[in-house]
A = this chain, B = another copy of it.
């Protein structure tokens, strides 16, 4: 399914469907959860159909543009991504010490956002909410 969407996206943009791009797509959709580009590259480097670090980064940008992948956040260490196709919307809490990511969703917050958009005459299409602080574990071992 994501495969079809990607083919469509590529073709609409007049780009080429290369094995490297498919390798990146498949690797990302072979698991669930968050990932960083470098990790992704290391996985692909050891897989059947390989792709270089440059191609991984390039494809990642295409996938974000296509809507199949989303940028969760930019941390001290770099970008964190996740697949967005077929996933329910959710927001994130990120631990500043250990980097743990907690997902949550709140229909109430969504509703309030819609309300605020109306009030400001803004046609909202997406949003990104990140709460930072210390996770359960880290707040126990302060400092």
Contact = CB atoms under 8 A, between A and B. Distances in A.
Task: Determine chain A's interface SS by DSSP, over half rule.
Answer: strand
B131 A122 contact: yes
A97 B76 CA distance: 21
A109 interface: yes
Interface in A36-54: none
A123 B133 CA distance: 5
B134 A122 contact: yes
A122 B135 contact: yes
Contacts of A117: 93, 131, 133
Contact of A129 (B95, B96, B128): B128
A14 to B, nearest CB: 14
Interface of A: 73-76, 93, 95-96, 102, 104, 106, 108-109, 112-113, 116-117, 120-136, 139
The list of the 10 closest CB pairs from A to B, nearest first, reads A124-B133, A123-B134, A121-B136, A125-B133, A123-B139, A74-B74, A127-B131, A129-B129, A123-B133, A124-B131
